[in-house]
Amino acid sequence: MAVSEQTARGAEAPSRPRKALTIGAVCKILQNEFDDVSISKIRYLEDQKLLSPRRTSGGYRLYSQSDVERLRTILRLQRDEFLPLRVIRQELAAGGDIVLGGDGERKPAGGVVRRAILVDTSRAYLTLEEVVEETGAREELIGELENYGIVQPEKREGKAVYDETDREIVRAANELSRVGVGARNLRVFRSSADREANLLEALLGPSLRSRNPERRKEALQSLESLAATVSHLKHLLLVRDLRRLAGD
């Protein structure tokens, strides 16, 4: 799922760059909107895997128009919504369709709100009725998703309850069902997710099971970062194949 970064600007806003820019030029453009932006801050965001400008043979960074728009989105989410970088990274990589208006307001594309779900956040539980109410999905669809292992409710006090991840899965599956994609067709995504999780477990499993709190904390942070990178790679591979499909 691609992240849409659309900005409607007034007359006072800087014009959009038409060619590759140096980091100094990018900083100058964005300083009109973000007082605290600096070359060192942009470099830090790159170190955090939020930006990937291309480099010349001499090692100089060159920022494209899309790089500048992505950086503007990151800075607005930091300033206006106080989101931590790992949440911003996950939303950009994993599909929260972010549309920013000229007033800096963050709006969901197509009226759909996608929430970033983090590995180490506390979980809230919902009943079947609450999931139906919040997602608009039919109970029959949720039952099919359970049968195919797409959502995995827990039993608490004799009743099935769903966490926030299940809710968002149901929300996405409900959107796909409107164009004829059934629950059984989603098994391919479940299989892909299982393989990716197994890969990350092989890399970080010992650290995640460590009794040392600091080591476990670092492993959780690495897990979030690697998961975002894997998701981004998967998205890029999909985009490449879709371009071929479209005959681009």
Q: So what's the pLDDT on residue 12?
A: 43
Confidence band of 121 (pLDDT split at 50, 70, 90): low
Is 90 exceeded by the pLDDT of residue 98? no
Residue 74 in contact with residue 45, Cβ under 8 Å?
yes
Among 62-66, 162-166, 191-195, 221-225, the minimum mean pLDDT is found in: 221-225
Q: So what's the pLDDT on residue 82?
A: 72
Q: How do residues 10-50 score in pLDDT, each as one tens digit?
A: 444 444 445 789 999 999 999 989 988 999 999 999 988 88
Distance, in Å, from the CA atom of 193 to the CA atom of 50, rounded to the nearest integer, reads: 22
Pinpoint the alpha helices (H) of the chain. 23-30, 39-47, 65-81, 85-94, 128-135, 139-147, 164-177, 187-208, 213-245
Distance, in Å, from the CA atom of 80 to the CA atom of 71, rounded to the nearest integer, reads: 14
Q: So what's the pLDDT on residue 19?
A: 76
Mean pLDDT (the chain, rounded) = 82
Q: How do residues 219-246 score in pLDDT, each as one tens digit?
A: 988 888 888 888 888 888 988 998 888 8
Q: So what's the pLDDT on residue 113?
A: 46
Q: How do residues 134-149 score in pLDDT, each as one tens digit?
A: 889 999 999 999 999 9
Distance, in Å, from the CA atom of 49 to the CA atom of 64, rounded to the nearest integer, reads: 16
- For residue 200, how many C-alpha atoms fall within 13 Å in the half-sphere facing its CB? 21
Q: So what's the pLDDT on residue 248?
A: 62
Q: How do residues 178-234 score in pLDDT, each as one tens digit?
A: 999 999 999 999 999 999 999 999 999 999 999 999 999 899 888 888 888 888 888
